[in-house]
Structure 1
Amino acid sequence: MPGPPWRPGDAWLGGGTSLFSEPQPHVRRLLDLSRMGWEPLRELPDGSLEIAATCTVAQLSRYARHSPAPAAPLFEQCCRAFLASFKVWNMATVGGNLCNGLPAGPMISLTAALDGVCLLRAQDGTRRRVPAAGFVTGAGRTVLEEGELLRSVTLPARALAARTAFRQASLYGLGRSASLVIGVLDPWDASLRVTVTAATVRPYRFRFPQPPSAAELRRAVGSAMGERDWFDDIHGLPAWRRHMALRQAEEVCRELTGGGSGRGAGSAGRGGTR
């Protein structure tokens, strides 16, 4: 591992947009990842895409605009879900958003929905891979161990070739995501995956071999999530978040399976597909 040895009070520094936004009394030293020289985005021989942890939101957005991948529009939709200024876009990193582990983190939503795999590196140089859908374990909690860093997230070619549908809801027109649901239609077996984030304390994914009915979808969600799994803060009560997530899940299913595009959640919703 390049750089000085890890010690208590150290913190990895990506873009710093969250780290510098509020007091961090427990942090004594910052280790700057921008000096690692990692390539922001790298297309691999098998058709997958490696996104470095230090890749900024702006870099990801620019890449998506020129990518022919059917799932590329989802990148831009998730980037826009930040609702941030161009200054934040040019500093905030994909890895930082994941490592914060906040329910409203749109890079968590993106990588979880597209079967991303996180590459983690420990202080002794050992590496391990964790599905992006399991990287965040709760509100502000991840699987990262002391001194461990997120090196990259790889999105497989199969997921990049999928059709996607996106829904986002907020209490305010320019507010933080209170519910963000992504549907992904597999290009090989036509199975449908629905990923629920922002409304929940961590990402939840559901796979359906055949398009589910509204009742089947609600049963799947209801059996997987209890009352404490729905996030509760000033941006939305759990009951409302649950209502919006279920509504959006039904919409993305209809959109991807030919049941009509459906409308977003009124003035508080944003949608789109390709």
Structure 2
Amino acid sequence: MDLNTVVEIRDAREPRPWRPGDAWLGGGTYLFSEPQPHLRRLVDLSRTDWEPVRRHPDGSLEIAATCTIARLSRFAKGLSVQAAPLFEQCCRAFLASFKIWNMATVGGNLCNALPAGPMISLTAALDGECLLVAQDGVRRRVRVADFVTGAGRKDLAEGELLRSVTLPARALDCRTAFRQASLYGLGRSGVLVIGALDPLDGSLAVTVTASTVRPIRLWFPLPPTAVALRAAIDAAVADDEWFDDIHGLPEWRRHMTYRYAEEIRKEVLR
């Protein structure tokens, strides 16, 4: 879609004061999908040449905000960690063609903050941490589970940039289990639940996305009983936090979350 209110596109490598009507341009798959009448200038990140994915000496994995879904999928195929299958499972949870895969970015998916965003699911489940950079250069770090605060809402100040997401080595070594449901084939996720069992201490993290307006990450020092797991979900998700749209009623999303969380609990205990 043409954005006929945009009068300028500037290179992000050329520092200029941020002003009202500015927006970061990553892959542009959301920006150009619908009218954006409030925008006047796009700040293009495509020439920053940030390394898409980097493995640090401590074993952690840093994913640049500009890393495309296709690039992340290719990288994960050669990743020798226990959680490697989860990357492809989340990439495949996109309601997207190969054209979108090659343009859509990890950072864009997080910053859209949609409940069904599978990169939110992936990075929240693996205890990811966002690196945010303000216009004055000040940096801060926020856990992905806290970065997305609601449907379309995130902890991002005006002009602030999501630079990357880092996944800790310990989370990458977790055994994972994945469940996803849509109302129809190849449809947008209505429920997505991920379990991650830590082999070092036996702790279990259960992350709920798509069915809720924000990611819910539950951590248990030891795998809980079925009753304790359901009670933890009830305590963590307020009644008005079950998402409601044409892709699923809150009651259905809640029911499927309980079901998938229990399936995951049993799977990781095998």
Same structural fold, with TM-score higher than 0.5 when normalized by the shorter chain: yes
Residue matched to 1:243 = 255
In the alignment, does 2:165 pair up with 1:161? no
Residue matched to 1:232 = 244
Structure 2: unaligned runs, 5 residues or longer? 1-12
Q: How does 1:4-15 map to 2 (within 5 A)?
A: 4-15=16-27
In structure 1, how many angstroms separate the alpha carbons of the residues matched to 2:14 and 2:54? 22
Q: How does 1:161-240 map to 2 (within 5 A)?
A: 161-240=173-252
SS, match of residue 246 in structure 1: helix
In structure 2, how many angstroms separate the alpha carbons of the residues matched to 1:3 and 1:247? 50
In structure 2, how many angstroms separate the alpha carbons of the residues matched to 1:133 and 1:105? 13
What's the CA shift string for 1:238-265, capped at 9, x where partnerless? Answer: 010000011011111111111xxxxxxx
CA RMSD of aligned residues (A): 0.9
In structure 1, how many angstroms separate the alpha carbons of the residues matched to 2:199 and 2:173? 6
Please tell me the residue identity of whatever aligns with 2:196.
V
Residue matched to 2:110 = 98
Amino-acid identity (%): 74
In structure 2, how many angstroms separate the alpha carbons of the residues matched to 1:210 and 1:158? 16
Please tell me the residue identity of whatever aligns with 1:117.
E
Q: How does 1:36-51 map to 2 (within 5 A)?
A: 36-51=48-63
Residue 214 of structure 1: CA displacement? 1.4
Match 2:134 to one of 117, 122, 132: 122
Structure 1: unaligned runs, 5 residues or longer? 259-274
SS, match of residue 46 in structure 2: helix
SS, match of residue 258 in structure 2: helix
Residue 208 of structure 1: CA displacement? 1.4
What's the CA shift string for 1:192-248, capped at 9, x where partnerless? Answer: 110000000000011112221211111111112121010000000001000001101
What's the CA shift string for 1:41-73, capped at 9, x where partnerless? Answer: 011010101000000000000001111111011
Residue 2 of structure 1: CA displacement? 4.3
In structure 1, how many angstroms separate the alpha carbons of the residues matched to 2:30 and 2:217? 27
Between 1 and 2, higher relative CO (CA 8 Å, sep ≥ 6) is seen in 1
Matched pairs, number: 258
In structure 2, how many angstroms separate the alpha carbons of the residues matched to 1:226 and 1:99? 23
Residue matched to 1:267 = none
Please tell me the residue identity of whatever aligns with 2:135.
Q
TM-score normalised according to structure 2 size: 0.94
Residue matched to 1:23 = 35
